[in-house]
Structure 1
Amino acid sequence: MRIAVIGGTGLIGSKVVTKLKAGGHEAVPHAKSTGVDVVTGEGLEKALTGADVVVDLTNSPTFDEAAPDFFRQSMGHLLDAGQKAAVRHFVVLSIVGVDQVPELDYYRAKTLQEEILAAGPIPYSIVRATQFMEFIGSVMSWTADSDTVRLPTTPIQPIAAQEVADSVAEVAVGAPLLGIHNIAGPEVFPLDELGRITLAAGPDSRTVTTDDTAGMFAAVHGDVLTAKDDATLAPTRYADWLAAR
């Protein structure tokens, strides 16, 4: 099976390409560095020619009000090129609970991406994942100074990027779901507690202060970013992932 992985050089994309190749598939990574620009459409027709499946792992360069335009433009170009190439399956990676946080520009943008895909001409699958373990450090940096990290108590269910990639690859080689597949890590933590665990593993002398107004995740209400009963739980626990870094 020939699979075009758009955004195939990034954190998840590179792992998806490796996983697909190990399974005997012809997985081709595409990105700006390979001459493919999803915003302008440059290089897409060539990239998708002969592809059975498109996996879209591109991301908006910003998390602000510009994000919806990125996904509107990129999905338009990808769906047009995919239809012309007779692509049979279009896979997108999204976020568990993404449609439950309209307060966040980026989450509204990802919801728009899902809606455009579902209304499009190509059979599709959406893989929604919880927050990546690899991004916890970045989340902490948004509200940190030299002594303190301020974090809300928002429930988070972190998952390792490799396990996200494995799930995306598995979905990509299967029949289109015409719906959503949810995946998550095995444990739920309040974000402030997750920060304390992360600093302790450092070691890091900073302390975590609980602040339910701090950072992007302060806008999240309740446990909407955690998995529900229909989700597949990956096995890697956060402490084990930290220890293996």
Structure 2
Amino acid sequence: MVRAESWFPIRRRRLRTEILLVLGLSLGASAVYSVVSLLAKATSGTALADQTATINGSLSDRPWLDLTYQLLAIGFDLVPVALVLYLLAISGGNPFRRIGFDLTRPGQDLGRGALLVLVVGVPGIVLYVVWRLLGFSAAVVAAPLDGQWYTVPVLVLAALRAALQEEVIVVGYLFTRLRQLGWRKWQIIVGAAVLRGSYHLYQGPGPFVGNVAMGVIFGWCYWRWGRVMPLVVAHWIIDIISFVGYPLALGLAPALFG
């Protein structure tokens, strides 16, 4: 039998190991690849402002196969989200209620999500333009998918995937575990925000700063509200505007300026 006084160090080690494994299977791995991608861009001999960062690219030149790959990628990317909910469940309590990832307050969650879109999303677009002008960001191609019948639905699902991954794992799960490890409020908020920025580094240092700022705002709101659902709503809307708005703008451009 393990004595009570020796249980806490063991539990802390297990929590740290669990966090590392979860991040290694999800956004922590994305952060490592992002750093390498930024290094590749910085050492390519081409100015960062003249390079591109592609999101939601086509995975095959055959439409049926592209759709299959897209849906498989979205589905498998959501497995770590299910994993952290499972880990929270076996550690005690209802994981959905624990992090506020449920439909018990739809009106309030939608209202708060819309507010975050205005506070974070609109300034984010302005900041992106500023970073591009200053040369601190690559040109982000948000949706280079060909204009197939499934393009918009897949982009909406991709936006949901990103919202669930980032808000459930980086906020709901990570905040819970770091709090159990004894981290203080602003250590958790800033630490999670830096992680959020790090897996966006492939876009350049400008978007890194912007996403850290977004992470601080989202983290503070989660700490205050105790619900991850408004963050998911806001993130989903912001990414839908970014992903779906891109091909629609390209389609309208010839008619407006041609």
The higher relative CO (CA closer than 8 Å, separation ≥ 6) is in: 2
Structure with max Cα Rg: 2
TM score, norm. by length of structure 2: 0.26
Q: Which has the higher helix share?
A: 2
